[in-house]
Amino acid sequence: KAGVTQTPRYLIKTRGQQVTLSCSPISGHRSVSWYQQTPGQGLQFLFEYFSETQRNKGNFPGRFSGRQFSNSRSEMNVSTLELGDSALYLCASSPNRGGRETQYFGPGTRLLVL
Amino acid sequence: EDQVTQSPEALRLQEGESSSLNCSYTVSGLRGLFWYRQDPGKGPEFLFTLYSAGEEKEKERLKATLTKKESFLHITAPKPEDSATYLCAFFITGDSGYALNFGKGTSLLVTP
């Protein structure tokens, strides 16, 4: 079974631009979560989508948004990019929601904001 | 407040030198504690899930254990290919759902 895929793998943007990242979950998985990873803060939860609805949101500004499609694929968008948004953005999928579900991660998208 | 702390931050071992990584947590209603391995520039790779105190799981040279306050990842006779960052995490309950709360990780280097 194919794993979680993320595109693009690398991205360079300038301050003020916006960016859209894509995630395809493992086949049959319906929950998709997004995380930001930086050297200083580690892995931080952004949001979770299930059945095309945002179910949970981390402590990030409104510039960070996302959506999920009927086939469970998900996108996240960051508007008005800031230098501090440079990070590895990770997508994870699980079969369902809940606190006992294992999340499987994709390879990530490395975003550099100049 | 739910918290997870990993120690040490970094660990250097010689090949064959066994050791343990620690993950201590304070959380009400633990629903599962997860261990992941992350190689540089890659996404975390799932290793183990532990649900209740006293539970143990093994995979090759790795063994994870769980008590009421902490989890250990024991590495027996490590090899250079075990070099990676090891992350532990547990689910926290938000206003409307669950999210994985990660520790900062232990960076392990195994030298030949």
CB nearest B99 (choices: A42, A45, A105): A45
A42 contact B CB<8A = yes
pLDDT in tens, B22-80: 999 887 767 789 999 999 989 999 999 998 899 999 999 999 999 988 999 999 999 99
What band does B96 get if pLDDT is binned at 50, 70 and 90?
low
Return the residue matching tokens 């539970």: B55
pLDDT in tens, A4-57: 999 999 999 999 999 999 999 999 999 999 999 999 899 999 999 999 999 888
CA of A71 to nearest chain B CA: how many angstroms apart?
A: 21
What band does B97 get if pLDDT is binned at 50, 70 and 90?
low
How far apart (Å, rounded) are the C-alpha atoms in residues A47 and A11? 21
What pLDDT, on the 0 to 100 scale, is given for residue B3? 82
**Selection from A47, A48, A25, A5 nearest residue A95 by Cα:** A25
